[in-house]
Structure 1
Amino acid sequence: MIYNVIDLFAGAGGLSLGFKQTGQVKIIAAAENNLNARKTYKRNFKLARLYSDVRTIDYAELQDTVGPVDIVIGGPPCQGFSNANRQHTTVISMNNRLVKEYVRAICELNPKAFVMENVAMLRSQVHRFFLEEQDLDNERIMGLPLSEDKIEILPECVNFENSIAFLESAREEMGYAWAESFYKIINILYRYRINQAKFDASLEKYQKKLIAQLSEILKITAEADELNILKENDSKMAKAILQYIEQKDNFDDTVLAISNSIMMQRAIMKIKELTDNNIHIFEYKEEKGSLVAVVKSYPVLDYIRVILENEPYNYTLSENTLNAIHYGAPQRRERFIIVGLKKEMDAKYTAPEIKFTEGNYRTVHDAIADIQDITSVTEVTGDYIELEAHPNATGLEKELRGRALYNHITTATRETAMARFKALKAGENFHDLDPELKTTYSNADRTQNTIYMRLKYNEPSGTVVNVRKSMWIHPELDRAISIREAARLQTFPDSFIFEGTKDSQYQQVGNAVPPYLAKAIADSVISILNNVAE
């Protein structure tokens, strides 16, 4: 039996490929926002319906055209937040809202089964939704354990009398807000408030544009009959920066003036963000001298459960953390999987049986040793390298090796990087370098253990991320791991070709679900559907 599948948040297509490899699915549609990942997906799956924005998909029209969807798969991005007096400019991770788009797809498509893939930490309380205005009328959501969160709007250092009333009116009048381009320049200056040399360099870079914009602020405030505190702060900032440009003798005063203005702008931006996203604000209040907005939130996982487990959708949910190493991938990579099955099928989901255990795990050598002697390139081209047949190949080499090698691309190695490469033995990383080879990092002690890591041939790798940013090193050669080698570690066959810029290709590989893990999940879901259909 062939099942119709739609892949949401498809990335380059690792999850789709695993399902396709079962031979029992037809992928009828997919959605991916990233342009380069979409190019990769289109090249490898040749779909007619490849959406760029899940928020605009008309699922009724989709089913009218291509028929019912049996299985929905996908990994909506989800980023957590820490809820106590956060200093970030933005309040809401838009990625968290994409989980709700995935849930909308399930509700409207009503598939027999769905697979939602994400990082294992989705189970943590860090991943939360803020309570929205429309949630107030939803008994199920209001019945969830809600926690009170306080979002700092104005820190104590710039809070002022009657700030609550002023900012509530500012929410209605967004003419108070700076243009985005102006905010970015002022924010750069503020970032270098403790480094005068970098402050001066940035000021010189943007000086011409700044003088014009600051002069306009002074003109507007001079013509005003009365200045509110925000315009007053902007006027003081404009005067201070212009004086500093002329005289360079009032650095501390300039930083203070910038601080007062930019904190007010951030307050307005936060309030606008909360309002634009319909977040219900229970109250504004002062706490320890700061102005905070009181909101409430609930765990993302609780939301998924309460919506999908109950009427009218009625799914039985199963949650499992799976490691790709157990299913033939030569890397340790945990993913959190939620599988939903229609309750009417009266079927219990069982996680895929572990195939590889300690002692017979596949290794980096199994994945990439056969292409060690093939010279990599450093520029993206459409060219490929012809590979000779290896009739005696076994294991991963036999499974992944093709007749054409695409994407065997690495970073061009500079002098400093090469010195580090030469100094590191297999299994060592940045922390094993001599101090003189660490000088380009501002805080070498805080560098992650995965940076400048030389892989070991006789072991699986760690979790493959963007290996270009991490500067993973080949086990035996003094060069970075190539895009194709990273793809092999992820269990993409050589026939799967990545598109886009070099950076993007590395990122696509790092973000992907290993196809071998995806196939194990697909087999476990499809076997249940087959049993029900018999």
Structure 2
Amino acid sequence: MIGVELFAGAGGMATGAVMAGIDVKLAIESDSCAAQTYLANHKNTTVVIDDIQNIKEYKFERNGDQVILFGGPPCQGYSYSNRKTRTAKNPKNWLFKEFIRSIMLVDPDWIVIENVPGLKKMDNGFFLKAICDDLRNLEYTPNVKILNAIDFGVPQKRERIFIVASKHGIAFDFPIGEFVNKPITVSEALFDLPFLQNGSMKPKLKYRTKAVSEYAKSLRGNKKIVTQNYVTKNSDVIVNRYSHINQGNNWRDIPVELMENYKDHTRCHSSIYRRLSENEPAVIIANYRKSMLIHPTEDRGLSVREAARLQSFPDHYNFIGSLDQKQQQVGNAVPPLLAKAIFKKIIEYSE
């Protein structure tokens, strides 16, 4: 099966597609750093760096294979955490129309659209209904479900909504995760990685130990060196705040006198200054730098590699750009193991 990806980002969905056995021929991404990351890790894919609105034709060899068109239109407007733009007036919320236009150009056998769960309720379901209506008008059969990444072996509580549509009238039965009620924990994901300091910028280090779990072993592969051990440099004031927070807790553990620079610290979001629990999956890491997500046992933020581990990226996957850009690419990505489960099920229907 051949894959074409829109709004490709750094390649989380494509990584899952390749894991499932899909040959991703073409990807469209407007952000140059994310596109460079994609190309560096998917060397057999042609990556077009351009705004999707400028794309008038998709050229790739089909060779008689079925084609799957997949991607996630920008989701800032749908996100529960983005209250200011969660309306129909946000132009980014209409980029799904470009996805629909691309369907008409590509004429794929399958379509996979992913987004944040807020899409389901935004404007009383207007956008979700509009997408599904457009797919039906193109004679596709849309199927919708919210899946949680922890059920599919990702050590992170992260829900995504998926719209899977078949051109051949197939009512798609979404996969059931193998890790329901037995999730991978933070310690299983991270505790073979090296000890780091606040502000670490070590491009290469040795692993701390042998792989501590099957999960870590699967992502390490044959690698002997850990790359991209990059951690945001926080001020002494922030590191001092970190030291007061117990695993699983947040800013509420910080003494009041250390929060005096906040106009009203009692209004902080629950995700701010959250220390991960080593014996549980991670909370969502979408904006892990800005929310100051804390390592479970060290008084610092997460490294790029640690965040990638919590997203289920293999350790050979490297991100390109400034530290902020690397962190954003990791946080914005669809967890590859979650994507893999979707694509694997589609392939089963096509065999």
**TM-score of the aligned structures, taking structure 1 as reference length:** 0.60
Q: Does 1:350 align with 2:350?
A: no
Q: Does 1:335 align with 2:160?
A: yes
Q: Deviations over 1:39-62 (max 9, x none)?
A: 2111111233323211111225x1
The alpha-carbon distance between structure 1 residues 72 and 65, as it changes in their structure 2 partners (threshold 3 A), is closer
Q: In structure 1, how many angstroms separate the alpha carbons of the residues matched to 2:228 and 2:53?
A: 32
- In the TM superposition, residue 308 of structure 1 has moved relative to its aligned partner by 1.6
Q: Does 1:502 align with 2:326?
A: no
Q: Deviations over 1:142-162 (max 9, x none)?
A: xxxxxxxxxxxxxxxxxxxxx
Choose which of 325, 333, 342 in structure 2 pairs with 1:521: 342
* Matched ranges for 1:62-461 at <5 A: 62-63=59-60, 70-80=67-77, 92-126=89-123, 299-310=126-137, 313-342=138-167, 345-358=168-181, 360-373=182-195, 378-379=200-201, 383-387=203-207, 390=210, 393-401=212-220, 402-461=223-282
**Equivalence for 1:56:** 54
- In the TM superposition, residue 445 of structure 1 has moved relative to its aligned partner by 1.4
Task: Give the letter aligned to residue 306 of structure 1.
Answer: D
Q: In structure 2, how many angstroms separate the alpha carbons of the residues matched to 1:40 and 1:500?
A: 8
Q: In structure 1, how many angstroms separate the alpha carbons of the residues matched to 2:272 and 2:346?
A: 37
Bigger drift between 395-404 and 483-492 goes to: 395-404
Q: In structure 1, how many angstroms separate the alpha carbons of the residues matched to 2:12 and 2:161?
A: 15
- In the TM superposition, residue 527 of structure 1 has moved relative to its aligned partner by 0.9
SS at match of 1:467: coil
Q: In structure 2, how many angstroms separate the alpha carbons of the residues matched to 1:316 and 1:91?
A: 25
- RMSD between aligned residues: 2.5
Q: In structure 1, how many angstroms separate the alpha carbons of the residues matched to 2:264 and 2:102?
A: 45
Q: Deviations over 1:203-230 (max 9, x none)?
A: xxxxxxxxxxxxxxxxxxxxxxxxxxxx
Q: In structure 2, how many angstroms separate the alpha carbons of the residues matched to 1:322 and 1:73?
A: 16
Task: Give the letter aligned to residue 280 of structure 2.
Answer: E
Do 1:42 and 1:50's aligned partners in 2 also have CA atoms closer than 8 Å? Answer: no
Do 1:365 and 1:457's aligned partners in 2 also have CA atoms closer than 8 Å? Answer: yes
Task: Give the letter aligned to residue 307 of structure 2.
Answer: A
- In the TM superposition, residue 478 of structure 1 has moved relative to its aligned partner by 1.3
Q: In structure 2, how many angstroms separate the alpha carbons of the residues matched to 1:399 and 1:65?
A: 32
**Equivalence for 2:299:** 478
- In the TM superposition, residue 372 of structure 1 has moved relative to its aligned partner by 4.3
Task: Give the letter aligned to residue 361 of structure 1.
Answer: P
Task: Give the letter aligned to residue 189 of structure 2.
Answer: A
SS at match of 1:317: strand
Do 1:408 and 1:483's aligned partners in 2 also have CA atoms closer than 8 Å? Answer: yes
- In the TM superposition, residue 493 of structure 1 has moved relative to its aligned partner by 1.1
**TM-score of the aligned structures, taking structure 2 as reference length:** 0.90
- In the TM superposition, residue 405 of structure 1 has moved relative to its aligned partner by 1.4
The alpha-carbon distance between structure 1 residues 429 and 87, as it changes in their structure 2 partners (threshold 3 A), is closer
**Equivalence for 1:134:** none
The alpha-carbon distance between structure 1 residues 323 and 97, as it changes in their structure 2 partners (threshold 3 A), is same
The alpha-carbon distance between structure 1 residues 442 and 91, as it changes in their structure 2 partners (threshold 3 A), is farther
Q: Among the aligned pairs, what percent are the same residue?
A: 36
Which structure shows the higher helix fraction? Answer: 1
Q: Deviations over 1:378-407 (max 9, x none)?
A: 34x7x32244883x7532111112323122
Q: In structure 1, how many angstroms separate the alpha carbons of the residues matched to 2:54 and 2:108?
A: 19
**Equivalence for 2:290:** 469
SS at match of 2:192: helix
Do 2:231 and 2:303's aligned partners in 1 also have CA atoms closer than 8 Å? Answer: yes
- In the TM superposition, residue 472 of structure 1 has moved relative to its aligned partner by 1.1
The alpha-carbon distance between structure 1 residues 127 and 16, as it changes in their structure 2 partners (threshold 3 A), is farther
Unaligned runs of 5+ in 2: none
Q: In structure 2, how many angstroms separate the alpha carbons of the residues matched to 1:65 and 1:330?
A: 36
Unaligned runs of 5+ in 1: 129-298
SS at match of 1:472: coil
Which of the two has higher C-alpha Rg? 1
Bigger drift between 50-59 and 432-441 goes to: 50-59
Do 1:28 and 1:66's aligned partners in 2 also have CA atoms closer than 8 Å? Answer: no
Do 2:146 and 2:162's aligned partners in 1 also have CA atoms closer than 8 Å? Answer: yes
- In the TM superposition, residue 499 of structure 1 has moved relative to its aligned partner by 0.8
Do 2:142 and 2:163's aligned partners in 1 also have CA atoms closer than 8 Å? Answer: yes
The alpha-carbon distance between structure 1 residues 66 and 31, as it changes in their structure 2 partners (threshold 3 A), is farther
Q: In structure 2, how many angstroms separate the alpha carbons of the residues matched to 1:127 and 1:36?
A: 35
- In the TM superposition, residue 80 of structure 1 has moved relative to its aligned partner by 4.3
Do 2:2 and 2:62's aligned partners in 1 also have CA atoms closer than 8 Å? Answer: no
Q: Which runs of 4+ in 1 moved over 6 A?
A: 64-69
The alpha-carbon distance between structure 1 residues 376 and 424, as it changes in their structure 2 partners (threshold 3 A), is closer
Do 1:376 and 1:408's aligned partners in 2 also have CA atoms closer than 8 Å? Answer: no
Q: Deviations over 1:265-314 (max 9, x none)?
A: xxxxxxxxxxxxxxxxxxxxxxxxxxxxxxxxxx222222222213xx21
The alpha-carbon distance between structure 1 residues 506 and 326, as it changes in their structure 2 partners (threshold 3 A), is same
Q: In structure 1, how many angstroms separate the alpha carbons of the residues matched to 2:250 and 2:269?
A: 9
Q: In structure 2, how many angstroms separate the alpha carbons of the residues matched to 1:37 and 1:79?
A: 17
Q: In structure 2, how many angstroms separate the alpha carbons of the residues matched to 1:102 and 1:126?
A: 20
The alpha-carbon distance between structure 1 residues 87 and 387, as it changes in their structure 2 partners (threshold 3 A), is closer
